[in-house]
Amino acid sequence: MPPLAIRAFSATTALGRGVGAQAAALEARRGGLRRNDFGPAPLETWIGRVDGLEDAPLPDALAGWDCRNNRLAWLALQQDGLPAAVEALVARHGADRIALVVGTSTSSIGASEEGYARAQVDARGQPCFPPELQRPIVHTPHSLGDFLQHATGLRGPCVTVATACSSSAKVFAQAARLIGAGVVDAALVGGVDTLCGSVLFGFNALGLVSPEPCRPFDLARNGLSLGEAGGFALLERADEGDAGLQLRGYGESSDAHHMSAPHPEGLGASLAMRDALARAGIEAAQVGYLNLHGTSTPANDAIEARAVAGLFPDSLHAGSSKGWTGHTLGAAGIVESVFALIALRDGLLPGTLNSTTPDPDCGPQIRFDNARGDIAYAMNNSFGFGGNNCSLVFGRGAAA
Amino acid sequence: MSALSARIAGIGWWSDGLPDWAAARAFASTGALPADAPAKPAPTLLAPNERRRAPPSVLVALEVALAACGDAGIAPDALPSVFTSTHGDLGITDYMCATLAAAPAEVSPTKFHNSVHNAAAGYWTIGAGCMRTATAISAHRASFAEGLVEAMVQLATDADAVLLVGYDTCASGLLGTVTRSEGLLGAALVLTREGGGPRLSARFDDDEAAAGSGPLAAHAQGNAMAPMLPLFDALAAGAAAVALHAGPGRRLLLDIDHG
């Protein structure tokens, strides 16, 4: 594929607001997980919660979209010069030539949950939502995309991608296609997911939630820690001689196996990684850092480790950052792409937090310690329910 | 922008009272409803026990997807797919929210994994044995237009043929007091770069798309996926052009060459 320049990028997670906070916590190996304090009857688990959302309502003009998820979207959008970078792209191309493609798993379903929890009775004696939650837009998946469209003024195609935990990796692929087909010249991509009852109790019902901070790829791992996050990247067709960070490839596949369990041989994961490498036109050995999906569930990590060992040489530095942020679900794609971009930009290669004893399925690629190194390419894996897989390859213009 | 183009190689349809595209086309020209329409779709891609447990969104999506592949004569496992739905499965959202309010520890694990927006896409790829890419999107009233654009840009960049499926379910419970959607509606297109079938070209412009006024638009107007219906009325009537809602103040202009 033609390389796409990344004009700006940012993430806001339990580690803090913006790229600086992410890089500092990754480098210091300072995790963001805390004992679950979300909701009225918290499950025994650890979460990656973003501080301050409760006290950060949306500006008055956007109050119709107010909810936890859109608050996090707004907060994440204010970081790392994103508003100025969006403005510059609008000046260059026009608002109708910039797509908005954002991922989420549950969007603002937390607002719908609250409507049920605080249900009232209307004048006819029928149950109803409290008046302040009688806003249809926050009870539908496109709440996120619609909010951001109004918040940014962008007028190109506006889409919310919701393929569970691969959502905000797939936004890069969809945006690359829109730019490649000439529908637009640039795209704001990203993803936002917030903690809510659905995911905490839903993953708990599947037996996938750990009572302790998650330990990806550890022999004793016993489930995931959930988190919330938001992040964005601005993509534009790369200019000749552009030396900055770039999206170089994407790969997508389906497991065709099971709704909530990965393919036992990791076939879908391998397909997505191979597809991404092929589209980037590089060999597996050229990749210096791979941010793994690495959820810390027994099944995912063993299968992903074997798929990585089957594809990459021993020299690859691969790690899971879920121990820092928790599994941020529909935001994991963008957050972990930002971590891959940090690795490319700064040479900071994060290992895996909280883990001490590698599962025997781990090849030498799976690293627990951080490392430093000047790398040419970084990858990110994001896999979701329904067997939905996406891998991304990032590089630098100078490496071309 | 350069115009996007595609051939429509196959069409699938399901609505309450009109269980396939042949019935929908006949209704569009004569107003006749089949006497023996089944109450719900029963896609043969699912085993009977899975069919009993599957939510309506999955049933309708798989039904129309399989019909479109059959109409196109293309094996389902060969196609990348784009699933678009305004709300996903509204009955499952109602179940999740009601259960979380009453007894959160009792959430059903199956209902939870069926609550993801890409549930229909997931069941489709599993049932069809398809390892190609599948996506699931929403864009509120522009959901179908944006799905169509994603399918057409896949043809322009990555794929020779692609499956597009649009569907929405009926709102129920407390959620139904704020979210309006009636009945069950789904339609699917198999789009190809080359070959036979009506030739579609698409471009955006700045205007509001008119609300559908054709027989299919009137028949299923209460469903959240109704903004797709002007295209299906145009296909049934052999119309040369149609516009779909594509976001606030934006529409997708479609020219259709029926050949």
Q: Which residue has the higher pLDDT, A240 or B18?
A: B18
The whole-number average pLDDT for the span B117-138 is 97
Which among B72, B146, B84 is positioned nearest to B121, based on CA atoms?
B84
Residues of chain A positioned with their CB less than 8 A from the CB of B122: 254, 259, 385-388
The answer to whether A112 contacts chain B (CB < 8 Å) is yes
Q: What are the two backbone dihedrals, phi and then psi, of residue A182, each rounded to the nearest 5 degrees?
A: 80, 10
Rounded distance between C-alpha atoms, residue A99 and residue A175, angstroms = 7
Rounded distance between C-alpha atoms, residue B146 and residue B226, angstroms = 14
The answer to whether A160 contacts chain B (CB < 8 Å) is yes
Contact A160 B1 (CB under 8 A): no
Domains of chain A, by residue range, sit at 4-399
Sites in chain A below the pLDDT cut of 70: 398-400
pLDDT at B245: 98
The answer to whether A254 contacts chain B (CB < 8 Å) is yes
pLDDT at B2: 60
Chosen for mutation from A132, A247, A254, A274 (greatest number of chain B CBs closer than 10 Å) is A254
Rounded distance between C-alpha atoms, residue A229 and residue A219, angstroms = 27
The answer to whether A170 contacts chain B (CB < 8 Å) is yes
Query: B residues 42-71 near A, CB within 8 Å?
Result: none
**b (16+ CB within 10 A) / e for B137-167:** bbbbbbbbbbbbbbbbbbbbbbbebbbbbbb
Query: SS3 for chain B, per residue?
Result: CCCEEEEEEEEEEEECCECCHHHHHHHHHHCCCCCCCCCCCCCCCCCHHHHHHCCHHHHHHHHHHHHHHHHHCCCHHHCCEEEECCCCCHHHHHHHHHHHHHCHHHCCHHHHHHCCCCHHHHHHHHHHCCCCCEEEEEECECHHHHHHHHHHHHHHHCCCEEEEEEEECCCCCHHHHCCCCCCCEEEEEEEECCCCCCEEEEEEEECCCCCCCCHHHHHCCCCCCHHHHHHHHHHHHCCCEEEEECCCCEEEEEEEECC
Query: B residues 216-255 near A, CB within 8 Å?
Result: 246-250
pLDDT at B223: 98
Structure tokens at B3: 């115009």
Is A4-399 CATH 3.40.47.10? yes
- Give the nearest chain A residue to B175 (CA atoms): A112
Residues of chain B positioned with their CB less than 8 A from the CB of A202: 96, 107, 109, 112-113, 115
Residues of chain B positioned with their CB less than 8 A from the CB of A109: 93, 96-97
A136, A176, A198 member nearest B96 (Cβ): A198
The answer to whether A258 contacts chain B (CB < 8 Å) is yes
pLDDT, tens digit, for every residue of B184-230? 999 999 999 999 999 999 999 999 999 899 999 999 999 999 999 99
Q: Which residue has the higher pLDDT, B90 or B53?
A: B90
A150: left (phi over 0), alpha (psi -120 to 50) or beta: alpha
The pLDDT-based confidence of B1 (bands split at 50, 70, 90) is: low
Contact A142 B139 (CB under 8 A): yes
Contact A388 B98 (CB under 8 A): no
pLDDT at A399: 46
The answer to whether A139 contacts chain B (CB < 8 Å) is yes
- Give the nearest chain B residue to A207 (CA atoms): B109
Chains A and B: how many Cβ contacts under 8 Å? 234
Residues of A designated catalytic = 165, 293, 327
pLDDT at B259: 83
Contact A387 B174 (CB under 8 A): no
pLDDT at B17: 97
Q: Is A260 helix (H, G, I), strand (E, B) or coil?
A: coil
How far off is chain B from A254, nearest CA to CA, in Å?
4
pLDDT at A241: 86
At the top level of CATH, which class does the domain B4-257 belong to? alpha beta
The whole-number average pLDDT for the span B88-103 is 98
pLDDT at A375: 97
Query: B residues 118-147 near A, CB within 8 Å?
Result: 118-119, 121-123, 125-126, 128-140, 142-143, 146
- What is chain B's mean pLDDT, rounded? 96
pLDDT, tens digit, for every residue of B133-183? 999 999 999 999 999 999 999 999 999 999 999 999 999 999 999 999 999
